[in-house]
Each structure stands twice: as C-alpha cells, then as structure tokens.
C-alpha cells in the first residue's frame, strides 16, 4: 500500500476513532471525509484482504492522496450522496462510517482557497468543491440583510449579528466585498483587539458553513446512515463546533435532531442508535500540543440497534 501521497493531513483522534469503529478484517467501511487520507490509511491497516473501504471527498486536492490499494475506492462527491454512490458500487449496507468534519490544515494554509483571514490578498472563496457553487463573496454581496444576520447568529453565534449584517450591506453598496482584505476592512468597526481572532473566526466559520451547506449535508448524512449501516454497525464522527455536535448528540440519542425522546407502547426508547460513549471524547493534552487545531475536536460513537 503506497502512503507517500498522504501529504497534508494529521488525523485527529486517530486511535480513538479506529477503536470506536470496531473494525472487522473482512468488513466494509466508509470514510466520508477522506481529505488527506489519514483516517483511511488507519482503517486500511486494520482491514484484511477481503475488506473494503470507500473514501468520499468533493475537493479536487484530495485526489492527490488516493492510496494505491485494491481494497480502496475513491468517490468524488459530497457525503450527502452517500447512499446513492454506495448503491452504484453495489453495496447495500456497510459495517462502519467514519466522519471528521474539521477543515483540514491544507485548506487553512492554502491562500488561494480563501478559508483563512491570514491571507488578506486572497479571493473570498471558501468552497470545499472549488469547481462549482457559490463562493463566500457571492453570499456576502448578494444575501439580504436579514439572511446575513441569521447566518451570522446561527452559524457564528455572534450577538452583534443584526448590526454586523446591516453594516456589511451598507459597505457593499459602495464597493463589492471580493477579497479577504475587503471583508476585514468591512469588519473593522466590530473588531476588538482583545478578541479579534475569536470574532474573525466566528465570521469566517459562519460564511464557510453557508458556502458549503455543511449543516444540511450533515443532517442528510445522519439521516441516511440508518439505512446504510448494518445492524451493529458503528458510526464514528468528529465535530469541531457546538452546532454540529449538538445535532450529532441529539441524533445518536433520540434518532431526531430536536433531541425529542420517543417511546413505544411499552415505554422503551425507539432511537435507531445506541450511543457508545455518553461522555464526549476529546484529544489528550499531548495531541493538542502536537496539533493545536485538534483542541476543539469532539468524538462521538454510536451503534445501530
């Protein structure tokens, strides 16, 4: 198995994720966030010759990391189309699903992708699939004020969402906001020096989530997982912000996104999943020291009942 193509991803909570999947040597698994391939390589090392692994990723850059392994199949798609592509490849059910919802270091460090406020001259893009779809600049320049306020509040948890949206609309009438520098200039009246990085991270997170329809895709993935997983199959998922984690926690515990407990006639819970870890798993201090971007990671594991 060739590993030299893996070039930009340090997998977060690797051993915890692999142990959570409870990998069977002859099993069928899916890494729905292939990226740099770190988790996929770990899964392949635990699979036998009869095992199979499918890796999903919509980012063209991820294709450079495809391992040369006959047990691996790469799917150039967003994971929201998981069930469709598995059927295309002749799979009806799988033994486990792995998802790491974090943005890779590669994306943050590539100026041309527009994910980081460190690169002021870069275009405001933020698309995971940079071959199609609206950019963050399209959103910031065309969304109505009320819609902008809603996404800043919901996805960025910004208390100044309404005032911020109103200000951006006023700025864009004078000049389009096309680059990261344009956006930083527009945000300046709201940027406090003592909390600058946190504020900018919240704004950029909200735009990235909207640009890539991340919450919609996550909900679609979770909903499909019940039909895709075999009975006893495991779903291992790593989240990095509270909205994602809350959706995953509710779904694993109750089978819905509201967290509403449903019971049968005998008072038994009817959730399709059984949480394996009631307490969320987080990286150890040693891992965070080696990979600071892992500090907000939260791992949850569930089993289909």
pLDDT tens-digit profile of 226-246? 999 999 999 999 999 999 999
List the one residue out of 143, 182, 147 whose CA is nearest residue 161.
147
What pLDDT sits at residue 132? 83
Task: Please state the φ and ψ torsions of residue 158, each to the nearest 5 degrees.
Answer: -95, 125
Confidence of residue 266 (pLDDT cuts 50, 70, 90): confident
Confidence of residue 2 (pLDDT cuts 50, 70, 90): very low
- 67 and 5 in contact (C-beta within 8 Å)? yes
What pLDDT sits at residue 104? 59
Confidence of residue 112 (pLDDT cuts 50, 70, 90): low
All structural domains of the chain with their residue ranges: 14-105+214-304, 130-211
What are the CA-CA distances from residue 278 to residues 69, 179, 198, 262, 300 (Å)? Answer: 35, 43, 29, 18, 8
pLDDT digit string, tens, across residues 120-168: 788 999 998 888 889 999 999 999 999 999 999 999 999 999 999 999 9
* CATH class assigned to 14-105+214-304: alpha beta
Confidence of residue 119 (pLDDT cuts 50, 70, 90): low
CB neighbours of residue 146 within 10 Å: 11
CATH code given to domain 130-211: 1.10.150.170
What pLDDT sits at residue 6? 46
């Amino acid at each position: 198995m060739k590993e030299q193509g893996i070039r930009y991803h340090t997998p977060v909570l690797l051993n915890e994720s692999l142990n959570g999947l409870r990998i069977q040597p002859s099993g069928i698994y899916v890494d729905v966030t292939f990226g740099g391939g770190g988790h996929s390589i770990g899964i392949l090392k635990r699979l036998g010759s009869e095992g199979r692994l499918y890796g999903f990723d919509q980012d063209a850059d991820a294709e450079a990391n495809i391992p040369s392994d006959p047990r691996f199949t790469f799917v150039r798609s967003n994971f929201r189309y998981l069930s469709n592509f598995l059927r295309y490849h002749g799979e009806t059910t799988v033994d486990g699903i792995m998802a790491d919802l974090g943005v890779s270091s590669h994306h943050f460090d590539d100026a041309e992708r527009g994910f980081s406020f460190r690169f002021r001259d870069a275009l405001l893009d933020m698309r995971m699939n940079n071959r199609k779809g609206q950019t963050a600049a399209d959103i910031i320049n065309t969304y109505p004020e009320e819609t902008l306020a809603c996404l800043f509040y919901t996805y960025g948890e910004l208390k100044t969402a309404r005032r911020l949206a109103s200000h951006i609309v006023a700025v864009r009438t004078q000049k389009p906001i096309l680059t990261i520098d344009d956006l930083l200039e527009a945000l300046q009246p709201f940027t406090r020096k003592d909390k600058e990085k946190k504020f900018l991270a919240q704004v950029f997170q909200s735009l990235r989530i909207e640009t890539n329809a991340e919450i919609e895709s996550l909900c679609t993935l979770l909903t499909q997982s019940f039909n895709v997983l075999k009975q006893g199959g495991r779903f291992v998922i790593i989240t990095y912000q509270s909205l994602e984690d809350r959706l995953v926690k509710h779904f694993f515990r109750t089978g819905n996104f509201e967290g509403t407990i449903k019971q049968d006639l005998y008072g038994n819970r009817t959730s399709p999943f059984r949480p394996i870890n009631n307490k969320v798993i987080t990286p150890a201090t040693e891992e965070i020291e080696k990979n600071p971007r892992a500090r907000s990671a939260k791992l949850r594991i569930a089993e289909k009942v």
